[in-house]
Amino acid sequence: MRDENCIFCKIIAGEIPSRTIYEDEDFKVILDANPASKGHALILPKEHCANIYEISEELLSKAVKLAKKLAAHMTKLLNCDGFNLLQNNGEVAGQTVFHFHMHLIPRYVGMKNKDLLNWTHEEFTDSEQDEICEKLKMNS
């Protein structure tokens, strides 16, 4: 339920202060302490789970529904021009706090961090892509 060494569990318990914009029985939504843009917020499930692999389908579904509501709400109030949902899993993927969270990042035309998600594409041959595709096929 709670990890004693987890900073987000401490924020959820109110032991570390945060700027909370929304709270219900399952989630607390706070402003990111190091925002990439005006209004950058984090959806934190109250139950401690480290990442996408650990969170239950039920709680994840609720988080995504909440993200949709907040995206609409924040876009209206911040008058932003676009919106990123971002969710990192594992150090190599950029995760620094190992309590599942979804970033809500309002985007503005002309904003400082315009290259926030700019990656250069990797080259794979057609046969490599075919092989990857075959390997990843999953039944519905």
List residues binding ligand 5GP (CB under 6 A): 7, 16, 18, 30-34, 42, 88, 94-97
Q: Which of 95, 75, 78 is nearest to 86 (CA)?
A: 95
Residue with tokens 């900073």: 7
Strand order in the sheet with 102-107: 20-23, 27-31, 41-45, 102-107, 82-86
Give 46 or 125: the residue with its C-beta nearer to ligand 5GP. Answer: 46
> Out of ligand 5GP, Zn ion, none, which partner does residue 7 contact, by CB within 5 to 8 A per kind?
ligand 5GP
Helix (H, G, I), strand (E, B) or coil at 58: helix
> Out of ligand 5GP, Zn ion, none, which partner does residue 75 contact, by CB within 5 to 8 A per kind?
none
Q: What is the rounded distance in angstroms from the CA atom of residue 44 to the CA atom of residue 54?
A: 14
Output the smallest distance, CB 28 to ligand 5GP, in A: 10
Give 26 or 32: the residue with its C-beta nearer to ligand 5GP. Answer: 32
| Catalytic center residues | 101
